[in-house]
Amino acid sequence: MGQAVHTQDAPQAIGPYSQAVISGGMVYTSGQIPLDPVSGAVVDGGIREQTAQALDNLKAVLAAAGSGLNHVVKTTCFLTDMNHFQEFNAVYANYFPGKPARSCVAVRQLPKGVLVEVEAIVEVSAER
């Protein structure tokens, strides 16, 4: 199966899954939603604040896996409303200046009623 990744710096899994798994030199993350890692609550604010928190959570999981955002190969992004696409992109661009491959899809609903979820496929850092 690979090596499960766990960190207290990102929200704990709310189901029977790992925050990420390392396998074959790659990190496969579970979707990260905008939960505060300490309280477990959805962060206050709209799509901008929720996007930033989801990406901060992703960054924390990748750090625990010995990698980082600069090693992301592909993301899959889920939005509950494509009217948020421009605001989502404005925040996302600050985290990924290298522009990894990406899919962004609209979904009907996400866990805990959040507006955004992001998962990634990432190379394990050479520094690991």
Query: CA-CA distance, 52 to 24, in Å (whole number)?
Result: 29
Query: Would you call 46 exposed, middle or buried from its count of C-beta atoms within 10 A (0-12, 13-18, 19+)?
Result: exposed
Domain presence at residue 111: yes
Query: CA-CA distance, 75 to 84, in Å (whole number)?
Result: 17
Domain presence at residue 30: yes
- Number of domains composing the chain: 1
Q: How confident is residue 1, by pLDDT bands cut at 50, 70 and 90?
A: confident
Tokens of 30: 């579970």
Domain presence at residue 47: yes
Domain presence at residue 128: no
What residues make up the domain containing 52?
Answer: 3-123
Q: What is the pTM of this model?
A: 0.95
Does residue 77 have an active-site annotation?
Answer: no
pLDDT digit string (tens) for 38-69? 999 999 999 999 999 999 999 999 999 999 99
pLDDT of residue 126: 55
Tokens of 16: 């029977």
Q: Choosing from 26, 63, 104, 110, which is the catalytic residue?
A: 104
Whether the predicted pLDDT of 2 surpasses 80: yes
CATH of the domain at 110: 3.30.1330.40
pLDDT digit string (tens) for 74-118? 999 999 999 999 999 999 999 998 899 999 999 999 999 999 999
Whether the predicted pLDDT of 28 surpasses 90: yes
